[in-house]
Amino acid sequence: MVRSIPGAAREVWRGKQAAWQASAQLRHPLRDMAWDSDMAAALQTEVERLLPGNESTFARNKLSALVCEEDCIILEEIKTLTQENNRSNITRTAAYLECYEQYPELHWALLAHMVSRNGG
């Protein structure tokens, strides 16, 4: 058992080095998110057009109901997925990794995956 200590210590050190290297890569942006001034101006114009006071009361109520309905549907989907993925530490850990793989700019998802995996 005593003979295995140096090998175990070496593996721990290698694991720490690998974690530091992975962490260093997360500090750099994965892609350039350039600002498109024309698109921003177009979006601002569209939002201002949709703001209350810029259309009839009927149109405003219809838009408000539509936004609420869409938001409620999205919220229910989030609640359902959360409940499904919170069944166990394994499903939760897999969900964090899937989230990170789909959206690598969400560094917290990788951190959550690692903490869940190592803490479980």
Residues 62-114: tens digit of each pLDDT:
656 666 778 888 888 988 999 999 888 888 888 888 888 888 888 888 888 88
Rounded Cα gap, residues 109 and 115, in angstroms = 10
Looking at 42-46, 47-51, 86-90, which range is the least confident one? Answer: 47-51
Rounded Cα gap, residues 118 and 15, in angstroms = 12
Specify the pLDDT at position 113: 82
- State the pLDDT confidence band at 47, using cuts at 50, 70 and 90: confident
Specify the pLDDT at position 80: 93
In angstroms, the Cα distances linking 116 to 12, 18, 77, 93 are 19, 18, 23, 6
pLDDT at 61 over 80: no
Specify the pLDDT at position 49: 79
Average pLDDT, the chain: 80
Rounded Cα gap, residues 60 and 62, in angstroms = 5
Question: What is the end-to-end Cα distance of the chain in Å, rounded?
Answer: 26
Q: How far is CA 71 from the centre of its chain?
A: 18
Looking at 8-17, 51-60, 68-77, 101-110, which range is the least confident one? Answer: 51-60
Specify the pLDDT at position 84: 92
